[in-house]
Structures are given as C-alpha cells and as structure tokens.
Structure 1
Amino acid sequence: MKICIYGAGAIGGYLGVRLAEAGAEVSLVARGAHLAAMRESGLKLLTGDETHVVHPRCTDTAAELGVQDYVIICLKAHSITGTLDAMKPLIGDHTRVVTAVNGIPYWYFYKHGNEFQNVTLESIDPGGRQWKELGPQRAIGCIVYPATELEAPGVIRHVYGDRFPIGEPSGEISADVTRLSEMFARAGLQAPVLDRIRDEIWLKLWGNVCFNPISALTHATLDVIASDPGTRAVAKAMMLEAQAIAERFGVKFRVDVERRIEGARKVGAHKTSMLQDLERGRPMEIDPLVTVVQEMGRLTQIPTPAIDTVLALTAQRAKVAGLY
C-alpha cells in the first residue's frame, strides 16, 4: 500500500512512523529544517519511554513520488489550496484523498442530500478549487484526536491519543475505507469506520469553534476558559449557535453542550492550537474553524451573533499580529 503523507509535521510525522512500522510504503512531503533532519537521521517518534526511528522517503517535491493509493493531507486547512498543483502528480484514477484536517473539509456537501448537495464553501475552498481539482469522489473523511508535538526537526513527541475515525462521505463501508482502517489497526491506531462521519467532524469542531478563538483572545488554557463563568457562557452561546446550524444539516450530537464543555475543562491546562500558533507567529486556523461555521449559518439563515462577535475580534487580533 503506497501512502503519501502530505504535510509531515507533528500529526503527519506520527502517522508516518506508525504506518511505516506497520509495513506500508510511506512517503512524506515536508520542508525546511524538518525535511533536512529526516533525510539525514530518519524520523524519530518519542512516545512514553519508547523511541521509534524510521527512514521513509522524504521530499519537498511530490512529483518525485508518483501515483499513490492514499494521500493523507495533514496540512493546516488554510494551506491546502496553495499546494494543489504540487499535489496533482500523486493523484491517479484510484487514489483516495484522506482529509486529516481540522474543521469542515472541502467535500462536506458531496453526497449530502437535500438542497445543499454539492455546495462548496468559499471560506475553506476558495473558488471551489479543492472540489474541482482533488475531487469530492476521492475523499475519505478523517478526524484527528491525538495530541503530538514537533519537539525538534525530525523529532515528534506523542502526548496522548491514538484515534483517527474515518468514513466515506456517502456513509457506505467501502473496500477502500475498510482497507485503510485495517492498515491503521496494524499500525496500533484506532480508525473505526463511521457511517455518519459528519457527526464526528462536528463533535470536534463544536469545541474548536469556541475554545480556539477565545483562547487566542484571552491567552487562557482550556480549564480556565471552561471554568470562568464569563468565558464559559460565551463558549456555550457559540456552541448552541453551531449546534443549530449542524442540526439543520442533519447532524446528530451524541453529547449535550454542558458535557462537551466539561470534557474540555477536564483536559486541563492545555493551550489550543490557535493560541499556540499565535504565540509562535504562525498563520492561525480561523477560517476552517470559525468563519466556515458563520458561512454555514448564512446558508441556513440561522443567526450567529456570538460567533460573529468573537470571529471579528479574533480576525482583528490575527491581522494585527500579521497572521491572517
């Protein structure tokens, strides 16, 4: 099985080590010092007291790799459109594209049913380029739950988690998605095949839509945001707006809003990815986590006053820092 991981940072590197050890023919697309370190010394994974080192093929030029069975996209969602031309040599007639990204993926309304079928979302897929060039028919959804860190160039530290739920947009249990799930299992990862992948996408996004921007504005960790009465109330208001939108699209939430907030609180003094990006001077994932929910609210004519307010503040904060 030929698997290219496009964007072999912390999560992509973690997957690369695990899948390579399981016998997949893995290649990694990366850049800069991280790529140089992997080429020189291999890719190292630190997990608990164990150290794993693999030597997969690494490049910054995807055209060297040829057509793949699976391309797992581990880029920040706002970076995908700019890489489409470079990604094309990996894509053949039978290649599947696995969207291991935060937020709503480009294929969301493919085989969705109802009046929203085949709608594209400008905030995450400008001009519909991903839809047209990657093709929604190739997509396999994937939700990323593990926490990993790029400790140094070529060195990934696994913090917790091993779940990567996957699923077809149509909900069918296809041979392609079953084969991928089995490969993940051989790699020691949990990749259950879901027949309602959108429900799981929204369950993760439900927290991201509020906790990420609130943390970027306040510099508070999850436990503080979810414990303080003021920020907890703002988060809940945003989540209820998002829930109304998702349910309009047929999504079913398996937990209620209070339980979801409590789950975030119990994570403890964790900095969200958006806060980490702000502190490290990296572009912030505002559009795939927040703007897209606002856009979907406009589609459904559901008002989003709390989301609108927090989004405006967060976007300005990011613009002032030169990160949006």
Structure 2
Amino acid sequence: MKLLVYGAGVLGSRFAARLYEAGLDVSLLARGERMDSLRRHGVQLAEENSTVIKRIPVPVREHPAGGYDLIVVLVRTHQVDAVLESLAGLEGDVLFLHNWAAGPEPLGAVIGHERVLLGFPADGGTMDGDVVRYRATNFMTRRVAMPIGEPDGRTTPRLERIVEAFRTAGVNAKAEPKMDAWLKTHAAFEVPLGQAVHTAGGPAALADDPDAVRDMLRLMRQNLAAMPAPPVPRGFAALRTLPEGLLVATLRRFLRSPTAVHSGLSDASPATTAELARLAEQIRAHTKVR
C-alpha cells in the first residue's frame, strides 16, 4: 500500500513517522520552512519534556502528485477546503482524519463520493520549534482505538485493509460503523468545551467558575439534542440525562485533571480559534441548531 500523509503538523508528522518505521511506503506532504526542516532533519520526535530527540527520515513531498492507494488528510477543519482542491485530480482513496461535523457530502462533491473515508486520530501533542512533543500514551497505544469508517456505515474490503494495515504498523485502529455520527457527537461536545476554556483563560480557570461550566454543559446538551442521529459513542447520551449538578461537578474535576492539562485545551492559537469557529458553523448548518 502506497500512502501519502497530507499535513505535516503534530498529528501528520507522528502518523507518518510511525507508518514509516513500520516499513510502509509512506510520504509526508509539507511546504515552506516545515518542508525544509523535514528534508534536513527528518521528523523529530520527543516525549513531553525529554531531551532525547528521535529523527525519522520520512520521505517528504511538496506537491501531492503521483499515484497513491491511500491519502490520509491530517489538517485542521478550516484548512480542508484548500486541501480538497489539490486532491480533486489525484487517484486513490482519501481518509479524512480530523474534526469534521459537516458530513461526507461536501468532501465527496469535490473529490468523488466513492473515495471518501472518515476518521479521527484521537491524539495530541505540541510543536516545539521543529520537534514534535507527545505524550507516552497516545493513539498508537491507548485502549480507546482510533475510529475509521465508511460514510454509509458499511464494513467494506477497503476499510478492512486499511484498519489491518494500521494495526500491523502499531496504530490501534478500528472500524466504526457510525463514523459520521461519531464526528458530529465529538464536535457537539468539543466546541462548547474549547470555546469555554479559551474564554476563561484555561481549563483550571474554567473549573473555578461553576456558572461558566454550567453554561457550557447547556450548550453541549443543546447541540446533542439537535443532532439528526443519537450520540456515538452512546455514553455521550449521559450528558443529556444525568442531573446537571452531577455533570457540572464531574466536568470541573476533569478540567483540573492532568488529562485536561495535557490535552491541548489550553491552546488558544489563531488556528485553534479558527477551527472551533468552523466547527461551530458546521454544527449549526448540519443539525437543527439555529
């Protein structure tokens, strides 16, 4: 299987490096200074605060030309439109691994509906100069598998091949029959959470304001109630059914936890702000929220 990873940020770099180390035929698409750094040093990886830097010589491409069996897109939500234009003339299936609440239709309308697969990387990290820093527990080792699915929910031979290839490479992937609903559920939860954290000035600051946490929870409930399908995973339905006081207390504990600190919630960069805004637009447009 010949693969192209489109996007050389934290997730794309990590993903491409892991596939390359596993012996897969993979290239990483990058441009500008990031491309120059990757060509000189390879993908540079380090665990959290470690001084040990590992360099992986993943082949780098500036343009997505060539024949690929699978193109894996790992970019932010607001960058997808520009990516679609460059993929329209290429061959090969395309796996979109990122936040996305608009459904598969706008993706397929540009590149062909038969090429689209959906997924979510469920990983995190930070960029320290040209070094990607990541947690020891990530999407490759975590118990919760990285979901991948066909837009229509079928378990197709190509989906099985992709999941098996990722598993063989050490990536904990699984076929998810309700991937579109999974992504919409995640956005319904993440947008209020991310925007509330940024407004408060960080997870801990939000935890110290129970009224703000309560307002955030109510937005989550509104989003979930407006979804055209039940939440996936089903556990998110608890956000609509459990008592508000219990949920507020639980969310405040989460916001003070190491998981919240290391999850990237504190990232208030323009890119994160733009992504949350685009996701909010998608939620309004593709649910009953008005």
State the TM-score, normalizing by the size of structure 2. Answer: 0.82
Q: How does 1:58-207 map to 2 (within 5 A)?
A: 58-63=60-65, 66-89=66-89, 91-92=90-91, 95-107=92-104, 128=106, 130-153=107-130, 155-159=131-135, 160-162=137-139, 163-207=145-189
Q: Which amino acid aligns with 1:140?
A: L
* 2:244 matched residue in structure 1: none
* Distance in 2 of aligned mates of 1:35 and 1:273: 27
1:18-55 per-position Cα deviation (integer Å, ceiling 9, x unaligned): 01111111111112222111101211222376754322
- CA-based RMSD of the aligned residues comes to 2.6
* Distance in 1 of aligned mates of 2:215 and 2:23: 47
CA contact (8 A) 1:18 1:187 kept: yes
Q: How does 1:298-317 map to 2 (within 5 A)?
A: 300=288, 302-303=289-290
* Distance in 1 of aligned mates of 2:37 and 2:13: 12
Q: How does 1:2-21 map to 2 (within 5 A)?
A: 2-21=2-21
Deviation at 1:170, TM superposition (A): 1.6
* 1:292 matched residue in structure 2: 282
* Distance in 1 of aligned mates of 2:24 and 2:102: 25
- Three-state SS of the structure 2 residue aligned to 1:165 is strand
Q: Which amino acid aligns with 1:269?
A: V
State the TM-score, normalizing by the size of structure 1. Answer: 0.74
Q: For this pair of structures, how many residues does the alignment match?
A: 270
Of residues 268, 273, 278, the one that matches 1:276 is 268
Cα distance change, pair 203–261 in 1 and its aligned pair in 2 (3 A): farther
* Distance in 1 of aligned mates of 2:53 and 2:25: 21
Q: Which amino acid aligns with 2:261?
A: A
Deviation at 1:282, TM superposition (A): 7.0
Identity in percent: 20
* Distance in 2 of aligned mates of 1:224 and 1:207: 19
Deviation at 1:82, TM superposition (A): 1.8
CA contact (8 A) 1:42 1:55 kept: yes
* Distance in 2 of aligned mates of 1:261 and 1:136: 38
* Distance in 2 of aligned mates of 1:263 and 1:67: 48
Cα distance change, pair 103–288 in 1 and its aligned pair in 2 (3 A): farther
* Distance in 2 of aligned mates of 1:149 and 1:190: 21
Q: Which amino acid aligns with 1:97?
A: V
**1:53 matched to 2:51:** no
Unaligned runs of 5+ in 1: 108-119, 121-127, 304-324
CA contact (8 A) 2:124 2:263 kept: no
CA contact (8 A) 2:27 2:60 kept: yes
* Distance in 2 of aligned mates of 1:293 and 1:263: 27
* Distance in 1 of aligned mates of 2:191 and 2:7: 23
**1:210 matched to 2:186:** no
CA contact (8 A) 1:45 1:51 kept: yes
Q: Which amino acid aligns with 1:232?
A: V
Deviation at 1:106, TM superposition (A): 4.5
Deviation at 1:215, TM superposition (A): 2.2
* Distance in 2 of aligned mates of 1:273 and 1:135: 34
* 2:243 matched residue in structure 1: none
Cα distance change, pair 274–100 in 1 and its aligned pair in 2 (3 A): farther
- Three-state SS of the structure 2 residue aligned to 1:192 is strand
Q: Which amino acid aligns with 1:296?
A: H
1:172-208 per-position Cα deviation (integer Å, ceiling 9, x unaligned): 1111111111122122221111112234323422331
